Structure formats: C-alpha cells, structure tokens
Amino acid sequence: MGMTIVEKILANHSKFDVVNPGQIIDVLIDARVARDFGGPNVVKNLEESNMSIHDASKTFFTFDTNPTGSDMKYAVNQHICRQFARKHNVKIFDINNGIGTHTLMELGLAYPGSTAVSTDSHANIMGAVCSFGQGMGDQDIAAVWANGSIWFKVPASVKITLNGKRPENVTAKDIVLNLLHEFGANSLLGYSIELYGEEVDKLSLDERITISSMATEMGAIILFIPPTDEIYDYFETRLNRKVERIFADKDAVYEKSFDLNISDFKTMVSLPGKPHGTVNILEAKKRKIDSAFIGSCTNGRIEDLRVAANILKGRIVAPGVVLKIVPSTDIVWQQAMDEGLIRIFKEAGALVSNAGCAGCAAGQVGMNGPGEITISTGNRNFPGKQGKGEVYLASPAVVAASAIAGYITTIDDIPETPANFDSFYVESKSELAEKHIKDAENAEKKAFAQGKVWLIDRDNIDTDMIFHNRYLAITNIDEMGQYAFDNLEGYEDFAKKVKPTDIVVTGKNFGSGSSRQQAVDCFKALGVPVILAQSYGAIYERNAINAAMPIMVCDLKMIEEIGLKNGDELFVDFETGKVENKSNGKTSQIEPFSEVQLDIYQKGGLF
C-alpha cells in the first residue's frame, strides 16, 4: 500500500520506512523557527529547563509580527531574543526582513520534502511548496530547538481535484475562498489536503502560497500543492543542488476524495467574523468601506502588488478611505520599488509600510477601530483580530478596486465618481479588565476532575476569542487568567465568574486560529481542570497536551446521554474516559487520554 505526500515526508524524517494515519512518531525538523511573538517564551522555556540548542544552523528567529518594534513590550521581547541569539549563535531575520514563513521559502530553508516549524499558526503555508510546515506553541518549539525533533500524530489525507477551466476573474484568493465555502471551518479538521488538477498545475508560486496559507482557516493540518518542474528549479537554484521529487504513490490511500468544478468558482468575499463565511461578491457589493488593506502572508507577494498597481495606476483612493499596503518580505518590497509599484501606490494616496505580518498582529498597520468597515486581503477576520471594526476578506484586485470606489466592488465596475461619507460617530466600548484572583499552584494532581459545567454551545471559538492578541506581550501565566474569553461575545465576564474546578464544555474546532500558548495557559491560571470539546484546532490541541492542560473530546451523543445542562455538576475520568452527570446520575463514555497525553500530564508538562 502506497503513501500520501504527508506520510512520505514524515516517514522520511522519522525512523520508520512507512507510517500510517493515527501513528505517533518523532519527526526530525529541518527548519526551527520562533518569532518575536512566542520567541521570549521559547527562550524562557529553554533557560528554565537548562536546555541547549541542538543545531544552531537550523534554528532561527523571525521578527515579523512587530517589524517596527514600536510597542514597548514587543521591543523588550525582541531584545530578549537578540541576546539569546548572540549567546547561542542563532540566526535572526530581524525587523527589516518581513514574514518569516515566506523568508524560509525565499531562501530555500523550506523546500519540497522538508519539515519546518514556527510559532506562526500559518507555518503550514509551506504546503505551497510541498514542505511539511506546522505552527506550534512555545513549549513545542523549545523542545524542537533542544532536541531537533518532536512528536506528531500522522494525519489522515484528503484529495481534492479541481476539474475544468478557471474563469478569468477568479484569482488564487477566490479559489481558496470557494474552497472555504465548500468545506467550511471544520469539515476537514485535522486532515492533510492534497490539491490536484490541470489548473492547479498552472498556479504560480505566489498563487500557491495564497491558497495554502488558508489551510488553517479550513481547520486542516496542511494543504499540499504538488510542485511543478518550475517550482523545483526555483529551489535547486537557491540550494545549488538537486531536490528530491516528492509525490503521492499511485496506490496511496485517502480517507476522503472530492472532485470540484473550478469553472463554477466565483469572485468571493468573506463576511465579517468568519473566514469561512464566504459569499459571491454580488451579495456584498456596494457596501461602504472606511479602509482597505493589501498584505499578510496570504496576499503580500509581488504578483499581488502588481495586480493592485495595475488597478491603482492613474487613479486616487476614494475620499475618506485609507488604503494600507504591506509587502510580505523585504525582497518583495525592493522588487516593488524597482518596478515602480511603490510610486504608483504613493501617487494613488496609499500608505506603504515596511514588510511584515501587518494587520494580523496587534498594533500594526492594517488594524481598524470600532465601527470601521475594512476590506482586507488577510486570512482572518475573526471579531477583534484585525481591530474593533468589521473586516471583509477578498483578493487584491477586489480590495484595490474597492479602495478607489469607496465601497466593495470588482475591477469591471469601478465608478467614475467615488462614494462619499456622511459624518458619524461611533462610541467605543471599554476594554477594562478586572484581574481574576486564583491560587491553584499547589493543587493536588489527579487524573480526574469534578466541577460545575460552563456549557458554551458554539463552534469555531478561535484563539483571539479565547485570549486576544492585544495581550500577547504577557509572559507571566499569573496575569493571563483575567483575559480568558474577554473577546468571546456573551462571555466577556467569564474570568470574573468562573471558579477553580469549573469545567468548560463546548463545540467543534475549539482553539482554532493562532499558535498562542496563552490561550491554553489562561485556563490553567484560572484553575479550570479540564476542557471538553467536540474537536480542537490542531495547534491548540498540541499546546494543551504539552502544557499538561487536560483536554478531551466529547460529542453531542455524550451530552444528550447524560442530559448535560449549563451549571450541572460533571465528573470526568482522564484515564478511563468515564463521564458522569452528578446532577442526575447519568453516565457516558468518551475517549480517554492517550498514552502520550497521560505521560505528559503526569510529568506536569512536556519538560
């Protein structure tokens, strides 16, 4: 029986010749990265555990979430990383460099068949070049830096084939938004996707990066696009050597296969709040906007900037609209300057910033304010992720056209006279938070939990809802609990009301989004003994297990069997999987801790 792409790459980096879905293996990592977000905690974990660097030549810092170093706490954290790097001879791609995952591909540090990890939840963007990239929390990254390898559960694979011809007005961003429309945020949760088709083979590197970058928003582990000879030539030039071809065997086994007609794909936008809430742009057309953003790891490439420049050339951004443009890397920025694109942007009235993650990171170019309507090329529009306003997601072509029109539109429907604003005022709500006092440091470690249930019947609760990115500079776990769920509508006062021993029970894809460890540690700080969800974001699941934060998978059947209601007293046994509703005596069974999870839990964490 043959292997899929992910199985081949993982087998090639393990002690096994053949691996199978569900198998837990140690995987050697070729490129090991920490960003300015997460980096200080990686340093903290290494130093507190007295661990050294396994191989400095494969170990990197990338400062991309705050490339200006304009925030005091970020500046302190970056300096912590710089001091550690000097001491251990670790390479830094500093604030003048741009997005770290893109740098890995630009320099050939991630290449077809390789493995790479980063504290970036979109590290699976490397699937664009058939490299196994994964976003991880700071404990995982510290372990990789110290050991060179880390455990993975081999994911099952899904094959998606796009048949037919791509319509002229359908961009790479539209392709992935159509895929999100088809599959949503969790129907492919935990899978490795392989994308095939005649039109897929024609995709440029930049287009592949756009599509693979949003595997995270689909809930997938990664989305692989098999390389063409042109892609292999790109890396062989950079590496000055032959790159081994990586492909799925003809008899590879896929858990699911889908055939879609790309001829039916439309120009799409994601409605505010949900990347997977995609609709035909006709449903959002004429929506007045306040700002527009072109950039992010999804659409900050040179091809994206060329598209925007072609539309903006000789035109002016609509009155009252702010257009912000952020190239993905300094190489792209320099190329845009050499080609005259920067001048076009400036003459059109756009703000052009230095390369980096931009609006996906708190306090950076591309954020918006309360009541502000933004159209963005980013990959996420969760509430609060890119600011306090509403964010629509679209292609660079749509964003540029909309910035000129003053409302959402397409390039073939830009008006002669842009829309204007009426005066308005939006009152911002308070962001004050009251610290939750807790004392669970010396609590006895037990392989079970019992407590009052918080039944939160919602799917796709992402890490920005759990622990907002404006608090990312916090590294002291004692300070994290007060911010738990303060960006989840209806639960803003959770941290004030929750009691130690209270149990959280929730829906599908809990913890989707960013790789932030704080979204796990905030519950530990509050003394929450276990979380039960129908499924988890892949990075969140790893972060929780590695931090010895008990998480378990339940389903609607279990909830119905025991008649679980909000406020019920619930007993959960981690080792047997037994659950009992103490309020009515009804019992059920869920999956117990795996051997790996139990071992890490009993040790008190990965270290």
* Residue 70: predicted pLDDT: 72
Mean pLDDT for 429-446 is: 40
pLDDT digits over 354-378, tens only? 999 888 776 688 888 888 999 999 9
What's the CATH class of domain 448-603?
Answer: alpha beta
Mean pLDDT for 601-606 is: 91
* Residue 426: predicted pLDDT: 39
For helices 72-88 and 39-48, the axis angle rounded to 10 degrees is: 50
Using alpha carbons only, give the angle 108, 109, 114 rounded to the nearest 5 degrees: 100
* Residue 383: predicted pLDDT: 82
- When pLDDT is cut at 50, 70 and 90, the band that residue 237 belongs to is very high
User: Closest by alpha carbon to 541, among 51, 14, 155?
Assistant: 155
Contact 185, 284 (CB under 8 A): no
User: By percentage, how much of the chain surpasses pLDDT 70?
Assistant: 96
Non-local CB neighbours of 509 within 8 Å, separated by 6+ positions: 185, 186, 189, 219, 459, 460, 461, 535, 536, 537
Non-local CB neighbours of 224 within 8 Å, separated by 6+ positions: 5, 6, 127, 130, 192, 193, 194, 195, 212
* Residue 390: predicted pLDDT: 93
Average model confidence (pLDDT) for the chain?
92
Q: Is 423's pLDDT higher than 60?
A: no
Q: Is 66's pLDDT higher than 90?
A: no
What's the CATH class of domain 268-413?
Answer: alpha beta
Mean pLDDT for 260-284 is: 95
pLDDT digits over 476-487, tens only? 899 999 999 999
Q: Is 425's pLDDT higher than 80?
A: no
268-413 and 448-603 agree in CATH topology: no
What is the bridge-based pairing of β-strands 586-589 and 578-581? antiparallel
State the CB neighbour count (10 A cutoff) for residue 125: 34
- The widest CA-to-CA distance across the chain, in whole angstroms, is 72
pLDDT digits over 526-565, tens only? 999 999 999 999 999 999 999 999 999 999 999 999 999 9
Contact 456, 491 (CB under 8 A): yes
Q: Which phi and psi angles does 496 have, rounded to 5°? A: -80, -30
Q: Is 441's pLDDT higher than 60?
A: no
- When pLDDT is cut at 50, 70 and 90, the band that residue 428 belongs to is very low
Among 55-69, 335-349, 398-412, 448-462, the range scoring the smallest mean pLDDT is 55-69
User: Closest by alpha carbon to 318, among 403, 390, 256, 203?
Assistant: 403
State the CB neighbour count (10 A cutoff) for residue 251: 8
Contact 356, 65 (CB under 8 A): yes
Q: Is 429's pLDDT higher than 70?
A: no
Non-local CB neighbours of 544 within 8 Å, separated by 6+ positions: 511, 520, 531, 536, 550, 551
- When pLDDT is cut at 50, 70 and 90, the band that residue 411 belongs to is very high
* Residue 438: predicted pLDDT: 39
- 285/277 Cα distance (integer angstroms): 15
* Residue 374: predicted pLDDT: 95
- 140/196 Cα distance (integer angstroms): 32
In DSSP terms, 532 is beta-bridged to 505, 552
Mean pLDDT for 118-122 is: 92
* Residue 533: predicted pLDDT: 97
CATH architecture of residue range(s) 5-264: 2-Layer Sandwich (3.30)
In DSSP terms, 150 is beta-bridged to 27
DSSP designation for 205 = H
Could you give the 3-state DSSP secondary structure of residue 133? strand
Each domain of the chain, given as residue ranges in start order, spans: 5-264, 268-413, 448-603
Burial class (CB in 10 A: 0-12, 13-18, 19+), 440: middle
Q: Is 280's pLDDT higher than 50?
A: yes
* Residue 71: predicted pLDDT: 72
